[in-house]
Chain A
Amino acid sequence: MDQAQLLPGTLDLLILRAASLGPLHGYGILLRIGQISGNALLIEQGALYPGLFRLVRQGLLKASWGTSENNRRAKFYELTAAGRKRLREETASWNRLAAAIGSALAPQPEEA
């Protein structure tokens, strides 16, 4: 399976997106990212946590302890209002960037 290396800074965006669908614990977020990206992104599992901690510290996520579906104690993350706002902004900005890069890289008529 070919997996793409993450662009710097995009992990935070993915975490916010994953957590926007409801409270999840760390492993759950990882699974959700895999699920929504079609397992196309390579993320080292541990690397998730500094990202999570950073977002909590910035007030974009909030965390609380709960019990997981496997009946284990785990910390669950959900978006705060600020997180939701940030996700919207970042998504819009990413889309603009992706569109621009995509069109820049698309084969031009004279090249074809």
Chain B
Amino acid sequence: MKLPFLPEFDSIHFRVATLFRRSEVDAEMDEELRAHILHRADDLERAGLSRAEAERRARIEFGGREKYAEECREIFGGNFARTLVQDIRFSLRVLRKSPGFTIAAVLTLALAIGANAVVFGLLNALILRPLRVPDPQSLYTLEHGPDKDPGESYPDYLDLRDRNRSFDSMTLIGIVTVGLDTGMNPSQAMGYEVSGNYFDALRIQPYLGRFFHDADEHGPNSAPYLVLSYAYWHSHFQDDRNVVGRVVQINKHPFTILGVSPPSFQGTLLFFFPDFWAPAVNHELYSGQNILNVRDQQDFIMALGHLKAGVTPVQAIADLNRVGAWLEKTYPKTDAHMTFSLARPSLAGDILGPAVQGFLLGLMLLAGLILLAACANLGSLFAARAADRSREVALRLALGSSRRRILRAVFTEAVLISLAGGAIGLAGSVALLRELSVWHPIPTIPIIVPVSPDAHVYWAALLLALASGFLFGAVPVRQVLRTNPYEVVKAGSTGIVSGNTGRRITLRDVLLVVQIAICGVLVTSSLVAVRGLMQSMHSNFGFEPRNAMLVNTDLHMAGYTGDQASAIQRRMIEALQAIPGVKSVGSIDQAPLDGAAPNEDVFTDETTNLVPSKAAAHVMDYKVSPDYFHAAGTTLLRGRDLSWHDDKSSPNVAIINEEFARKIFGSVNNAIGRYYKPEVGPRLQVVGVVEDGKYFQLTEDRKPAMFVPFLQWSPAGTWVVVRSERDPQQLAASVRRVLRQMDDGLPFEIHTWPDALAIALFPSRVATVALGTLGMMGAMLSITGIFGMAAYSVSKRLRELGIRMALGARRREVLKAALARPLKLLAIGSAAGLLLGILATKVLAYIVYQANPRDPLVLGGVVLAMTLLGLVATWIPAQRALSVNPIALLREE
């Protein structure tokens, strides 16, 4: 049977063959040179020689026929491809003769290029590649104020949308979590709440059914429509095309499914692929709060849109600032700092953008260093090979080869190795990137890292491979150019003065030191990162995640609002407390370190004009139940805990943390009994002070925080902390039973608290894995580098070592003679690497929690690691040096 692709393959093969076939010019030239020799032979025969002898003499007289043919070909110039094939054949032969060298070189490069391809793939997917929407270059999101806050309030959004003159149409998105009941198991789903013009503004067409439009909205809660994402439709509705028009329950309100988005469109935030899109005018149905008229709720939504054709970002910013000035003037109570900037929407503007960018650029730098180290490594290997092959080079020069041709051969070899390494590295990195794109780092949230590689990645890998090939291929150039065939052939192999035996510093030494220094940097940074992660796992969060369970639910999703919700929440806490083995139970409206950071401005009691510019502090704002601190393991420093009596009928109270107390009241002791004012609502009296904690991310500085009784505030979200030493599995089952008994329509999720911390630890985990991997690669490269150098230096000096031993040198002296130099270079390189690494890890402190390069454990670890690397790498050469048999060696010559 003939496979369908064979004809094509045949034709390609044919084309390649003609390309490299000996050209007509070549055949003609051959015939001409042969004719010359025959004519000469005719003459010689006439002079009395036998025909055979005549032809022999004629050939000798003609001289180096191949050499002249080569010169002629060069004059015609058209033989690039042919010479290339010759060079490649020759190089392959040479490389096959030293498989150890070839494999080591190819693998080294495969690792280095693979690492670069992976990092570049990430960079490409997350930063360089625009969102998959039509015309992504003109799509911007708005940020305002000095902190580049991407959140706008809904009324501000409406004003910005209607008053700007530079956006085609401005749309908004917010992230909502809802209880979605399709008639079977109610479950939490996360999606975007968007303005009606969202799909029209982004110019997206539905895959199935239709999208909602501006005309579908008529004020609050008027548009109960839902658009499913392709992925959610696929996983939750099994590609059922009849889904259009179906009514499902969102937080127990009926919503009609209008359509399904195309598979290529995964929302406008890169990490966060929504399950659905629903109109933001229904915000109250999702969260239980009506924010559509609240101008100072600025953390719900992002505004974004395409700039009009011909409008530059600078013009757009000027235009937005004009609207901003109007907003500040018209709404001085709520709107301050309304100066705008534009950002790419894909990484939530400047919330994630700079961090991700900084991290990836840092990684790219480190990966680049790896490649540089690999090139230095291969460069010194090539230099050593060139020194070993100087006799061959000299012979070829003597036989009439041009230096250019020899250099071409060297470069061909280098590029072949780099291409092979590049191909293997790329294959590995593509596999890794594919894994990454289906990876679900945090099970509770639809976060996806969309990094499938594309043509950019392939090109980058190819370019890197070629560039590195030329880089390390260039190292032995000087050696080849300086080879004097006469001297080398005369002196014989033993007379070649090797760079290693001399006292002067050779290029190879420098390369090795550079390489080890680079590896030292990598090892240092990876140790710092690993140590930082270890410390962050054991640091004080301001709560104790061990032996605690988090139950995440949202009473609004089950249709409870206001006081009704508070009552059911209290019943829930009491019911959970009754579970045997449960020590304490408390609730908070947003678990700390879970990705969201509810915050607001507070004012001193003396402030009367509550505008943002007069705020005393910007604080974390939590609504907690009595006993929350007990359940969470947060230490109460002064005053009292909240109680069930702190409800709507009692005075408004708050518990604050140490930082809050210090910042507003001067000290912890000073704070108890004092008053302050929140943005809205009555003044609050401080009744207790708790220890500081981490609220938004592990690397944050101390932040002021306030905790107010949920009975007085009726929050939307509920995270119940259940502290118990029982087995988490059993406990979860009991919790589930209790909650189902209370309300079987209530969507909830149960996690152990350490599991739930995955979000907070995610960046440092990623950083640690990445840096750890790069550090390992650095370590491997330094082993191969030192090994190559030590092995080479031993093999060059075997005879000398043999003589020394024959003359009675001791093992120690032999070892010193053989390995002193590589070890010295290792020491210099490591010291330089350590120093540079310490400088570099200052950068790491942004990502890795508690990255402290001056940690004695890290310093000791680096020194130990480099020493071990040195020992491992020099072990085999040392054994070889010690096993020298002087008699056998001297007899060989």
Using a CB–CB distance below 8 Å, which chain A residues touch chain B?
25-28, 30, 44-47, 49-50, 53-54, 57, 68, 70, 72-75
Contacts and interface: CB of A to CB of B under 8 A. Distances in A.
Of A28, A68, A75, most B-chain CB atoms within 10 Å? A75
B67 A26 contact: no
Contact of B63 (A28, A45, A68, A75): A45
Contact of A49 (B31, B38, B39, B68): B68
A27 B40 contact: yes
Contacts of A28: 39
A53 B63 CA distance: 17
A49 B33 contact: yes
28 contacts: A25-B36, A26-B32, A27-B36, A27-B39, A27-B40, A30-B36, A44-B63, A45-B36, A45-B40, A45-B63, A46-B33, A46-B62, A46-B63, A46-B64, A47-B68, A49-B36, A49-B72, A57-B76, A68-B35, A70-B38, A70-B39, A72-B35, A72-B39, A73-B31, A73-B35, A74-B36, A75-B32, A75-B35
A95 to B, nearest CB: 28
B399 to A, nearest CB: 14
Nearest to B25: A53
Contacts of B69: 49
8 smallest CB-CB distances across A and B, nearest first, come from A46-B68, A27-B39, A46-B63, A50-B71, A74-B35, A44-B63, A53-B75, A53-B72
B61 interface: yes
Of A45, A47, A70, most B-chain CB atoms within 10 Å? A45
A72 B63 CA distance: 22
Contacts of B35: 25-27, 68, 72-75
Contacts of A27: 35-36, 39-40
B40 A54 contact: no
Contact of B39 (A44, A46, A47, A74): A74
B75 A46 contact: no
B68 A26 contact: no
Contacts of A57: 75-76
Contacts of A68: 35, 39
A5 B28 CA distance: 30
Nearest to A55: B75
A68 B41 CA distance: 14
A54 B72 CA distance: 8
A28 B33 CA distance: 13
B39 A50 contact: no
Of A25, A46, A57, A70, most B-chain CB atoms within 10 Å? A46
Contacts of A49: 29, 32-33, 36, 68-69, 71-72
Interface of B: 28-29, 31-33, 35-36, 38-40, 42, 61-65, 67-69, 71-72, 75-76
Contacts of B63: 44-47
A45 B647 CA distance: 113
Contacts of B72: 49-50, 53
B365 to A, nearest CB: 50
A28 B32 CA distance: 12
A27 B43 CA distance: 11
A67 to B, nearest CB: 10
A54 B68 CA distance: 12
Nearest to B66: A46
Contacts of A75: 28, 32, 35
Nearest to A26: B36
A104 to B, nearest CB: 34
Of A26, A27, A30, most B-chain CB atoms within 10 Å? A27
B515 to A, nearest CB: 45
A40 B28 CA distance: 31
Contacts of A74: 32, 35-36, 39
Given A46-B63, A46-B64, A53 B76 contact: yes
A25 to B, nearest CB: 7
B59 to A, nearest CB: 10
Given A45-B61, A57-B76, A73-B31, A50 B68 contact: yes
Nearest to A44: B63
Given A26-B32, A46-B62, A68-B35, 5 more contacts: A45-B36, A47-B63, A47-B68, A49-B71, A53-B75
Contacts of A50: 68, 71-72, 75
Contacts of B68: 46-47, 49-50
Nearest to A29: B36
A25 B479 CA distance: 43
A50 B73 CA distance: 9
A28 B68 CA distance: 18
A27 B39 CA distance: 7
Given A46-B63, A53-B76, A72 B38 contact: yes
Contact of A25 (B28, B39, B65, B71): B39
A96 B472 CA distance: 52
Contacts of B36: 25-27, 30, 45, 49, 74
B77 to A, nearest CB: 9
A50 B31 CA distance: 15
B646 to A, nearest CB: 100
Contacts of B71: 49-50
